[in-house]
Amino acid sequence: DQQVKQNSPSLSVQEGRISILNCDYTNSMFDYFLWYKKYPAEGPTFLISISSIKDKNEDGRFTVFLNKSAKHLSLHIVPSQPGDSAVYFCAARLGGQFYFGTGTSLTVIP
C-alpha cells in the first residue's frame, strides 16, 4: 500500500512562472519530509526538506509547505527555469526508513 503518493505524473510550466508539485501521505507518524530531483540514469539529488514540527521551509527559489491536518506536502519553485526540468520525488521518514512517492515529471518550457 503506497503511503506516499504523487497523483500528478507530469506537469508543464512556462519559464518564469511558479511550479507547484504536490504530495499526499497517509501515515501521521512520519516525522521528516524531503524532496528530491532526478535526471534520467542518475541518482536522486536532495533538494529541500522539512521537519514535521514546521509548516514551511524556504531555500532560494524552492519552498516546501507541510499541512499536517491534510497530510499534504507541496514544493513551490519560483521562478521556474528550464534547468528545473526533471522528475521530482517526495519522501517521508518513519524510523529508519524513507518512503517515496512515484514522482512527478516537471517540464519547464522556455
Partner 1 sequence: DGGITQSPKYLFRKEGQNVTLSCEQNLNHDAMYWYRQDPGQGLRLIYYSQIVNDFQKGDIAEGYSVSREKKESFPLTVTSAQKNPTAFYLCASSTLGQVLSNQPQHFGDGTRLSIL
Residues that bind partner 1 (CB under 8 A): 2, 4, 6, 9, 31-32, 34, 36, 41-46, 49, 51, 89, 91, 93, 95-103
**What distance in Å separates the CA atoms of residue 110 and residue 108, rounded to the nearest whole number?**
6
Q: Based on CB atoms, which residue is closest to partner 1, 69 or 97?
A: 97
Largest CA distance in the chain: 41
- Min. distance of Cβ 52 from partner 1 in angstroms? 10
Of 102 and 107, which has the nearer Cβ to partner 1?
A: 102
If phi > 0 it is left, if psi is from -120 to 50 it is alpha, else beta; for residue 104 that is beta
CB 66 within 8 A of CB 89: no
Q: Return the number of the residue (22 or 79) whose C-beta is nearest partner 1.
A: 22
- C-beta of residue 25 within 8 angstroms of C-beta of residue 34: no
Least distance to partner 1, CB of residue 16, Å: 28
